[in-house]
Amino acid sequence: EVLLVQSGGVVVQPGGSVRLSCEASGFNFADYSMHWVRQAPGKGLEWVAVTNWDASSTFYAESVRGRFTISRDNTKNSLHLHMSSLTTEDTAFYYCAKSATHVQWLVLDHWGLGTLVTVSS
Amino acid sequence: DIQMTQSPSSLSASVGDRVTIACRASQGISNYLAWYQQKPGRVPNLLIYAASTLQSGVPSRFSGSGFGTDFTLTISSLQPEDVATYYCQKYNSAPVAFGQGTKVEIK
């Protein structure tokens, strides 16, 4: 069974930084691209970032480019998102998600339960 | 970047009704289109990819069609458990983009 276990919710001040984690199990983590997607409370889905299987290729949404960094550790089956220069607009549930296949690397077939990031003073 | 627009934003239908949701891409994306279902309080679930390929385990009352810029998700006979928000997603290239969602309720 594919499991994506995410770190707990956090509250961070505007301008601050935080690092989210996602621990994967139930599949060969190193074979799959991994994503972060966010959802502000009561709003729609917004894709954030993707890393390919070995982190040699990463892409970001324009809204977070230059502020967020996606990374992975294939030896620990873990995915991370380092978020900096946070604003209230970044308040959201952040989901890690697994790509469906090597070819369908931008399709998301399993999702974590989400981490609530609240940016507030 | 390519924008994805869904219509309607919400709909209300009776159990057993045929329900159709539209998704339009601002540029052609071939068949690189997926649909997700998000039930209230739950995480999104992949329903369809490649515009019309049903993900394993998804009921056959769900179907998808389209190519290029115009796509459709159809529920052939709406069931109470289909109450959810549905999102289309383009994936021809990064960055990925989702539609704004269509909320489906039971009348």
Mark B53-69 as b/e (b = at least 16 C-beta within 10 Å): ebbeebeeebbbebeee
Return the residue in B88, B96, B102 with the most chain A beta carbons within 10 A, the one to mutate for interface testing. Answer: B96
Which of A45, A61, A95 has its CB closest to that of B87?
A45
pLDDT computed for residue A100 by the predictor: 94
Interchain proximity A112–B43, CB inside 8 Å: yes
Which three-class secondary structure state does DSSP give residue B13? Answer: strand
Query: How many angstroms separate the Cα of A42 from the Cα of each of A1, B100, B101?
Result: 29, 12, 11
Inspect the interface and report whether the beta carbons of B1 and A62 lie closer than 8 Å: yes
Q: Residues of A near B (CB-CB distance < 8 A)?
A: 35, 37, 44-47, 50, 59-62, 95, 100, 104, 106-109, 111-114
Q: What is the pLDDT of residues B68-77, one digit of tens each?
A: 999 999 999 9
Q: What is the mean pLDDT of chain B?
A: 97
Is pLDDT at B103 greater than 90 in this prediction? yes
Average pLDDT over residues B54-77: 98
pLDDT tens column, A20-66: 999 999 999 999 999 999 999 999 999 999 999 999 999 999 999 99
- Cα B92 to Cα A61: distance, rounded to the nearest angstrom: 15
Average pLDDT value for residue range B87-106: 96
pLDDT band, very low/low/confident/very high, at A101 (cuts 50, 70, 90): confident
- To test the contact with chain A by mutation, choose from B32, B43, B87, B100 the residue with the greatest count of A C-beta atoms within 10 A, namely B43
SS3 at position A85: coil
